[in-house]
Structure formats: C-alpha cells, structure tokens
C-alpha cells in the first residue's frame, strides 16, 4: 500500500496575528511545492485551531501516516511536554497513533528547525535589510 | 568613517538547554561566515546572558552600529514590547542608541525570520527525516 502522508504543521500561536500568519504561509508554501501531501495547521496556545483539533481534521482525507511537524526553532517545554501530551505520543518512541475514519493512523514527530545553516543565512539577510 | 557592525543575536531562552544551544550555534555560523562582524548573543527569558547584558558586552569592541537581530519565527509580544523595552528603542522608528566606551552607537532592529521559503524547505527536510 502506498502511503498518503499528512503534515500536521504546529505553530506556537500568539496573542498577536503574526505567528499564525507566518506558520500558515509556511504551510501554504509546503502545499504548493508538495501537493501530494495533506497539510493541516494547529497551534499550541493563543491561536486557533489547537493541535488536537487540527489532528482530527485529517478525518476524511485518507492519510495513512501523519508527521507532527513543529515550526519552532528549538525544543523546549512545548515540544517535550505539551505537544506529546496533545497527540498522546509514547515518550519512549516519540510516536503515537490516532483513529481516523475507523482506522489507526501512525503519528511520527519531526524535529524542530534547529541550528541549520539555512537559518544563519536567513538571519544574515534580515540584518542586511535592517542596516 | 567605515562602519564596524555588531550583531546582537537575540534568542527566546528556555528552561531546557536546546534554545540557547541552537541560537548560539546559529551565532557561531554567522561569526564563521562573516568574521568582520562582532557577534554577541542574549536572551529574553530563562537563559543567560540577558539581552541588555549582551548589548553592554559590545563595550571595547569598537562597533559603530548594532543590529538587534531576533532569532524568532515571527513577531509577538516579546518582539513588539519586551525587546524594544530592554533596548530602549524609539517606538516610532524602531531604532535606538546606546553609549559604549563614551560614544553613542546606533541600534537598528532586524525583522524576525518570517515565512521565508528557506523555512518551508527546512520544515520539509525535517519531515523527510522523521518519516
């Protein structure tokens, strides 16, 4: 069986609109570049929909595997505690499963952005714009 | 007079070590690629040094202009309120100045990472690693 992959793109959320806007734009870019994936967006706090609601919105899409994908720079308490709790991930394996349309669908947990050179290059670009 | 630019790289900070580690690694990449800049790192909360202390550590470096550079995905309350407050930025211009070695040095404020295609590509890479 060929897999149909869901991207659960997870943002922090904010009282201001900019985090939701940036995370949604990033999700839209992924959708444009990779239309074979089903992309949903959810937030840890302040913004809607929340992570669990976004997870359940894969109902009816036929995904066979979901990557929970934090749009966070680095791991912190949200990534080590809150998101695994929302998604009921096994703390040993960092994986879980959710029942969608009567079938169990596996959830894997992607790493945050981290200290990739792409980030350093983007930071440098932002400084050049400001100077 | 040619400018000598300081990068004040600003991270969120965390109770866990990963945010400080990622922000510091990103700052080190910038230093390696651009040794003509003076790079310092400061944090909004939880991690040390704090933003103001990092700003004052440009004393003795001879910088003539500082870019305050948030390593944040998007603007939120930390970027619109806390950091401008720490750096005493003018809310109209988003610029400020600090006295270092008896001279006034201008501070400009760079934008956060935002919804750049580089981020979307990096997110996609993180998902491929997880699947």
Confidence of residue A1 (pLDDT cuts 50, 70, 90): low
> Best of B8, B119, B121, B128 to disrupt the A interface by mutation (most A CBs within 10 Å)?
B119
pLDDT tens for each residue of B95-114: 999 999 999 999 999 999 99
A10 and chain B: CB distance < 8 Å anywhere?
Answer: no
A2 confidence band (pLDDT: 50, 70, 90): confident
- Chain-wide mean pLDDT for chain A? 96
The answer, yes or no, to whether residue B1 has pLDDT greater than 70, is no
Q: Is the pLDDT of residue B72 over 90?
A: yes
Which run of H or E residues covers position B67?
Answer: strand B65-70
Residue B74 pLDDT > 90: yes
Structure tokens at A26: 């990033």
ipTM score of complex:
0.93
Percent of chain A whose pLDDT exceeds 70:
99
Using a 10 angstrom Cβ sphere, with 0-12 exposed, 13-18 middle and 19 or more buried, the burial of residue B32 is: exposed
How large is the average pLDDT for residues A16-28? 96
Q: Closest chain A residue to B94 measured between Cα atoms?
A: A130
**B33 is written with which tokens?**
């690629």
| Percent of chain B residues past pLDDT 70, beyond the cut | 99
Residue B40 has pLDDT above 90, yes or no: yes
| Overall average pLDDT of the A114-120 stretch | 94
The H-or-E segment that residue B28 falls in is helix B18-33
| A73/B78 Cα distance (integer angstroms) | 15
Are A66 and A106 in contact by the 8 Å Cβ rule? The answer is yes
Chain A within 8 Å of B1 (Cβ-Cβ)? no
Give catalytic status of residue B12 as yes or no. yes
pLDDT over 70 (residue A18): yes
Residue B19, pLDDT > 90, answer: yes
Question: A39 with A48: CB under 8 angstroms?
Answer: no
pLDDT at B2: 85
């Amino acid at each position: 069986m060929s897999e149909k992959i869901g991207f659960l793109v997870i943002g922090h959320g904010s009282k201001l609109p900019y985090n939701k806007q940036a995370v949604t734009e990033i999700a839209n870019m992924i959708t444009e570049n990779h239309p074979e994936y089903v992309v949903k967006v959810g937030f840890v706090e302040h913004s809607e929909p929340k992570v669990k609601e976004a997870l359940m919105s894969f109902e009816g899409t036929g995904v066979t595997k979901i990557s929970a994908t934090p749009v966070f720079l680095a791991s912190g308490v949200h990534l080590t505690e809150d998101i695994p709790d929302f998604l009921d991930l096994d703390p040993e394996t960092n994986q879980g499963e959710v029942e969608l349309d009567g079938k169990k669908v596996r959830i894997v947990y992607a790493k945050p952005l981290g200290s990739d050179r792409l980030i350093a290059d983007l930071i440098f670009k932002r400084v050049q714009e400001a100077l």
